[in-house]
Amino acid sequence: MFKYFPHTETDVQEMLKVVGVKSLDELYSEVPDELKYKGDLQIPEALSEEEVRNVLKSFADENIPLACFAGFGTYDHITPSVIPYLASRSEFSTSYTPYQAEISQGTLQYIFEYQSLMADLTGLDVSNASMYDGATATAEAMLMCVANAKKRNKVLISSTFRPQILDVVKTYAHFHGVELIEVPELDGETNKAEALTLVAQDDVAGLIVPQHNKYGVIEDLSGLAEECHAHKTLFVVNSIASDLGVLKTPGEWGADIACGDAQSLGIPMNFGGPYIGYLCVKNELVRKMPGRLVGATTDANGQRAFVLTLQAREQHIRREKATSNICTAQGYMCLHVAAYLSLMGPTGLREVNELGFSGAHYLHDELLKTGFFADKFADKTYLNEFTLRFADETIEPDNFIRYMTSEGILAGVKAGEHEITIAVTEKYTKEDLDNYVEVVNEWKNKATEFPLAGSDSEKAHNDVNE
């Protein structure tokens, strides 16, 4: 019952006898004496449960709650209160692995439901369950392209991806020997002409592009799938999952593989995780797909049942033959996403996007009215995220973000030397957006208190904050 209690002296002596030594000192005799710590460990006195709760609460009270307008791949959406309740139900989430089908039907069922919902959302045939996050899902999509092409080792990826995704994909490419080539951007979008010129060389395994890029721009992907397929190249579309409630799906764009992060489907930000990467493919690529795949069948009594199927991971076959060495899925997050999509439905997901869209466009226009910002891409389409540049290029974005944070607003993400990317979700009301603008105007009036980039006073200001 008390499996975390320490061993008794009798236990220790019995274990020492088994290994053939008389004391703990003899057991560790090979460790040089100078490496052994001889002082007293600085361990505090034991506390009661209530005292521990109070200590932890005091730590939590030091957190500063912020209105979060910093998207860049992570979005502050509302999580319906029923979801944590459903996710905690033991008939769904258990300590058993899905490999034990007889006692894991709840786990297998929610994975199956997740797969069905994600396949429907992306417009593709099959979904796995799942990947660590959107970046690793994109990297696995790259490896799938190479595995499918066999004799082609070159993959193209747009430079309009967020840096964290590019960094992960580059790391995977380096250690798997994949020749990864970045397609340059042109006016805030993937340079399609350059991408198609490279595809036409008939040595490219796959082209990976974002639908919602690092600037918040919704890219026009028309014509890419047709040209890729004409040259036997797989076409991969990375999307923010929530966006697919209103945008054209990867399947509609002609994608062979859809990937991205599903954190936007009601998963709290939780100070940086966990996330969940999704990966969906056409039927003909299913045997190249990594991760878990659950199928529906019938048991010996003719009743509906769920089982793992088409597993080609390193637990089941030789490591070098595995589709991937990803050996753990974000199972709990699959349950969370399945519950969210089931509750929201197409109508709810559309409403979430409409609220984010209207809020982002309102804030965008109001910030331009301050005269403090200018549009970076005035003629581009965006949904709930946009990029502005500071009208005065002597302004350092970090100083602006620091001030806004002191006023309770996480203002956005520094997107360039003089640029900031801002995201709005359904969580924030018109009053919240007006408050953002009001604080910006206050900052303008206090500009002398916050130094310009490159000045000595800026360095002193930064030193104080650090």
State which CATH number among 3.40.640.10, 3.50.50.60, 3.60.15.10, 1.10.3720.10 fits the domain covering 82-341: 3.40.640.10
Q: Name the residue with higher pLDDT: 314 or 78.
A: 78
93-97, 365-369, 403-407, 413-417: which has the minimum mean pLDDT? 93-97
- Give the residue extent of every domain in the chain: 69-75+345-465, 82-341
pLDDT tens digits for range 316-363:
556 666 667 665 567 889 999 999 999 999 999 999 999 999 999 999
Please answer whether residues 461 and 451 qualify as being in contact, where contact means their C-beta atoms are separated by less than 8 angstroms.
yes
Question: Residue 462 pLDDT more than 50?
Answer: no
What average pLDDT score do residues 306-312 get? Answer: 80
| Alpha carbon distances (Å) from 281 to 33, 116, 241, 340 | 59, 12, 15, 22
Domains 69-75+345-465 and 82-341 share a fold: no
What is residue 437's three-state secondary structure? Answer: helix
What average pLDDT score do residues 83-96 get? Answer: 84
Among 59, 75, 64, 70, CA closest to 268 = 75
Please answer whether residues 121 and 180 qualify as being in contact, where contact means their C-beta atoms are separated by less than 8 angstroms.
no
- What is the residue-averaged pLDDT of the chain? 90
Give the pairing of strands 179-183 and 304-308: unpaired
Fold of 69-75+345-465: Aspartate Aminotransferase, domain 1 (3.90.1150)
Residue reference for tokens 């009270």: 61
Question: So what's the pLDDT on residue 461?
Answer: 40
Question: Residue 53 pLDDT more than 90?
Answer: yes
